[in-house]
Amino acid sequence: MTHDSQLNGSVIAGGAGFIGPTLVGRLLDEGRHVFVFDNFTRGKAAYLDKYAGSGRLTIRRTELASRNDCESALASAAAICNVDEVWHLAANSDIPAGIEDPDIDFTSTFQTTFELLRAMQPLGIRDFHFASSSAVYGDFGSQTLHEGLGPLFPISNYGAMKLASEAQASAAAERFLRRLNIFRFPNVVGIPATHGVILDFIHKLAATPDELHVLGDGSQQKSYLHVSDLVAAMLVIRARERSSKTELVNIGASDAGVTVKWIAEQVVLRVNPSARIVFGSGSKGWIGDVPRFSYSSEKMHSYGWAPAMGSEAAVLRAIDEIARQESI
């Protein structure tokens, strides 16, 4: 294939996972060529099947934490068209596993960031959109989590390596990036679901239809955002004119959220209304979990963005979508 300098290209690292497919659709709609690099740990090429007809989607199995693999993937994209941005969605998505073995987040959550940034510079790819996480905040108790908080003490290796990635991207912005957008993701729900509390509950109910065992006492309360609202928010930030090179925003629902107990009840209602819910004890589901937090989206709101769905609506829609995905 010869190089098409009139065609703009976007790389989506980890683009075959949960968030990627929605973003792929939006970027293809812009007329871009989209390159999805994914190691398919959780992601699946099948999630992108519906875009196969576009002729502008390239999917490549890539270990982004591997220097050679990462460099050659980015170079192969730059050989095809004018690649001007990288969306970095690749990360470990099993937080408890990462707490047992810190190597997991070191490699999958941080080294992927490090190698992507390192490979971008010589290719002149200068816009970086990074999927950070509310997990960078750690446990601030009942304090509302806003972007200006500090110092940050993440309580999981996942949160630590997301914060490390923010920091490395920030240094790269001083060095060569034109634009750096850091999105601190909330709890996101929707399809294709690869992990998370809703999928977990549906799997458990499929295995034992009469009983749903919940880790912890169910009092954990969090806000949830639907993936369609999340992707819309990122595109708002990307399109927004501004004077600063770096932008960092929380993206989230502005409500107080819902409890795990409420989610369990809604899943049971949808899947098997006669099932009994059995709770564990303690307000934390596992080490590294934050029992309750409220997440400030004031900054995003000041930019004119608001989610179409609050936490309840997002979770209810996701339960229905995931139940269908699992053929229930």
Site for a second copy in 116-145 (CB under 8 A): 117-118, 136, 138
Report if residue 164 touches a second copy, rule: CB under 8 A: yes
Beta strand 221-222 with 258-259 is antiparallel
Q: Out of 38, 63, 69, 166, name the contact with a second copy by CB under 8 A.
A: 166
Q: Is the peptide bond before 186 cis (omega within 30 degrees of 0)?
A: no
Q: In what order do the strands lie in the sheet with 127-133?
A: 57-61, 33-38, 4-13, 81-88, 127-133, 179-185, 246-250
Question: 77: closest CA among 92, 64, 59, 89?
Answer: 59
- Of 86, 160, 191, 193, the one binding a second copy (CB under 8 A) is 160
Q: Is 11 in the site for a second copy (CB under 8 A)?
A: no
Which lies closer to a second copy via its Cβ, residue 180 or residue 319? 180
d(C-alpha 259, C-alpha 227), whole Å: 19
**Spatial CA neighbour of 77 closest among 42, 34, 109:** 34
Q: Counting contacts by CB under 8 A, is residue 66 touching a second copy?
A: no
Residue 171 touches a second copy, criterion: CB under 8 A: yes
Residue (261 or 292) nearer to a second copy, CB: 292
Candidate list 9, 190, 218, 288; residue touching a second copy; CB under 8 A: 288
Told to check if 248 binds a second copy by CB under 8 A, we report yes
Q: Which of 282, 285, 37, 31 is nearest to 155 (CA)?
A: 285
# binding residues, a second copy (CB under 8 A): 39
Largest CA distance in the chain: 61
- State how far the Cα of 268 lies from the Cα of 205, in Å rounded to an integer: 8
Instruction: Assess 147 for contact with a second copy (CB under 8 A).
Output: yes
Q: Backbone phi, then psi, for 219, in 5-degree steps?
A: -85, -10
User: Least distance in Å: CB of 180 to a second copy?
Assistant: 9
Binding segment (CB under 8 A) for a second copy, from list 14-22, 159-167, 228-236, 262-270: 159-167
User: Which residues in this chain contact a second copy in the complex, by CB under 8 A?
Assistant: 99, 102-103, 106, 110, 114, 117-118, 136, 138, 147-157, 159-161, 163-164, 166-168, 170-171, 173-175, 182, 246, 248, 287-288
